[in-house]
Amino acid sequence: MTVVNRQKVLVIDDERINLKIISDILREDADVVLAISGEQGIRKAIEYKPDLILLDVLMPGLDGYETMNRLRHDVRTSTIPVIFITALDDASHEEKALLMGACDYIQKPLNHNIVQARVRLHLQLTKQRKLLEQLANIDPLTALANRRRYEEFIVREWQTAIQHNECLSLLVLDIDNFKQYNDCYGHATGDKVLKRVATVLAGQIKPGEGLVARYGGEEFVVVLPRFSQQEAERIAKKCMLDIEELNLSYSHQGQTGQVTVSVGGVCVSPLVGDLVEDFFDKADSKLVEAKNSGKNKILWFHSHELDISVK
Ligand SMILES: [Mg+2]
């Protein structure tokens, strides 16, 4: 799991002296990024993805409220917590800021300890929120992405593929004879098999290339954006080979064998109106066919319904 060591705070204020004062207060707790205007602040928020933004209300050009409004309406910045900083002591301004979604409101003149304490509190909350988000997306046994994360990822990649007219490949893999393995050696050993298979799958793609997730039970998915069928098949074959080479053998009711996987695959360039659910079903139906026709093989979905076993 990624551990964020040092958090980032973006300070947006039109007066250099304020930027200096605030960065001196925060330097101990975070990396500080400075912006001298609302426009520059929005650009830096997108570029640096800070954990927290301190935003001055009174600025020429884009004032704090308008800056906040734009940050909230951009998906790249909409969830970053914002603390307003202002010399205005009218309660209506504080109310307006909080209603716009500010997480806090600090008044000038700045008190060193108050600024530090509030920023520390919000950085801590941000850290906890990110950790919870990570945990909500991870399968605890294998540390792979879980089905929830897969479903978010595939919808996003599906939309991207439609937008840019790109192909998208999906592999659905299932460990063969896993029930026999569990019956033979117990669930603790079965869990070890799941972990080892997960490690093999995770090792097949580089970070940012795609997503490997545990779909449920002994079923896994590999999403490969912009991978042609040929490239995806190469990954699938490598997965099968590496899993066989783990040499996880079993012997059950007179049957002996090694742990293998069956794979169903699909590659499409989706069009507007195509359904992402059908995409999964196509790969999954090929997986079922692979299981029913001897296991330890890859079957690929073809739009013209000609399925070719490539093993
Ligand atoms: Mg100002």
Q: What are the residues whose beta carbons fall under 8 Å from the beta carbon of 92, sequence distance 6 or more?
A: none
Please report the pLDDT score of residue 36 as a whole number: 98
pTM: predicted TM-score of the whole model, two decimal places = 0.71
Please give the average per-residue pLDDT across 293-297, as a whole number. Answer: 94
Please give the average per-residue pLDDT across 74-93, as a whole number. Answer: 90
Query: Ligand 1: distance of its center to the CA of 157 in Å?
Result: 41
**Gap between the Cα atoms of 247 and 294, Å rounded:** 19
Q: How far is CA 252 from CA 180, 185, 256, 258, 260, in A?
A: 7, 9, 6, 11, 15
Please report the pLDDT score of residue 311 as a whole number: 40
Tell me how far apart the 2 most distant CA atoms of the chain are, in Å. Answer: 82
Please give the average per-residue pLDDT across 169-175, as a whole number. Answer: 97
Query: Ligand 1: distance of its center to the CA of 78 in Å?
Result: 22
Whether the Cβ atoms of residue 34 and residue 167 lie closer than 8 Å to each other: no
Please report the pLDDT score of residue 308 as a whole number: 40
If one compares 308 and 168, the residue with the highest pLDDT of the two is 168
- The DSSP element (H or E) to which 35 belongs, if any, is strand 30-35
Please report the pLDDT score of residue 304 as a whole number: 55
Query: Ligand 1: distance of its center to the CA of 237 in Å?
Result: 61
Nearest Cα neighbor of 53 from 39, 68, 66, 69 is 68
Query: Ligand 1: distance of its center to the CA of 124 in Å?
Result: 27
Specify the range with the lowest mean pLDDT, choosing from 74-78, 214-218, 301-305. 301-305
Burial (CB count <10 Å: 0-12, 13-18, 19+), residue 35: buried
Q: Which two tokens stand for residue 265?
A: 């695959």
Please report the pLDDT score of residue 278 as a whole number: 92
Please give the average per-residue pLDDT across 108-114, as a whole number. Answer: 93
Please report the pLDDT score of residue 182 as a whole number: 86
Query: Ligand 1: distance of its center to the CA of 13 in Å?
Result: 6
In the chain, domain spans: 7-135, 147-300
Query: Ligand 1: distance of its center to the CA of 18 in Å?
Result: 8
Per residue in 204-244, pLDDT (tens digit) is 998 889 999 999 999 999 999 999 999 999 999 999 999 99
Please give the average per-residue pLDDT across 130-151, as a whole number. Answer: 94
Is the confidence at residue 83, as pLDDT, over 50? yes
If one compares 305 and 67, the residue with the highest pLDDT of the two is 67
Specify the range with the lowest mean pLDDT, choosing from 17-26, 133-142, 177-186, 223-232. 177-186
Angle between helices 147-164 and 276-292 (to 10 degrees): 120
| In the chain, % of residues over pLDDT 90 | 79
Per residue in 119-128, pLDDT (tens digit) is 999 999 999 9
Please give the average per-residue pLDDT across 157-177, as a whole number. Answer: 95
Query: Ligand 1: distance of its center to the CA of 125 in Å?
Result: 27
Q: Which two tokens stand for residue 22?
A: 């605030």
Is the confidence at residue 303, as pLDDT, over 50? yes
Q: What are the residues whose beta carbons fall under 8 Å from the beta carbon of 97, sequence distance 6 or more?
A: 57, 64, 65, 68, 84, 86, 105
- The DSSP element (H or E) to which 209 belongs, if any, is none
Average pLDDT, the chain: 92
Whether the Cβ atoms of residue 116 and residue 29 lie closer than 8 Å to each other: yes
Query: Ligand 1: distance of its center to the CA of 30 in Å?
Result: 23
For 7-135, the fitting CATH number among 3.40.50.2300, 3.10.110.10, 3.40.1360.10, 3.40.50.620 is 3.40.50.2300
Query: Ligand 1: distance of its center to the CA of 112 in Å?
Result: 18
Per residue in 188-206, pLDDT (tens digit) is 999 999 999 999 999 999 8
Q: Which two tokens stand for residue 40?
A: 């520059």
Please report the pLDDT score of residue 305 as a whole number: 46
Please report the pLDDT score of residue 306 as a whole number: 41
Buried b / exposed e over 98-131, threshold 16 CB at 10 Å, is eeeebbbbbebeeeeeebeebbeebbeebeeeee
Please give the average per-residue pLDDT across 255-284, as a whole number. Answer: 92
CATH of domain 147-300: 3.30.70.270
Query: Ligand 1: distance of its center to the CA of 127 in Å?
Result: 29
**Gap between the Cα atoms of 248 and 245, Å rounded:** 8
Query: Ligand 1: distance of its center to the CA of 14 in Å?
Result: 5
Query: Ligand 1: distance of its center to the CA of 34 in Å?
Result: 14
If one compares 254 and 190, the residue with the highest pLDDT of the two is 190
Is the confidence at residue 58, as pLDDT, over 90? yes
Q: What angle do CA 154, 134, 200 make, to 5 degrees?
A: 65
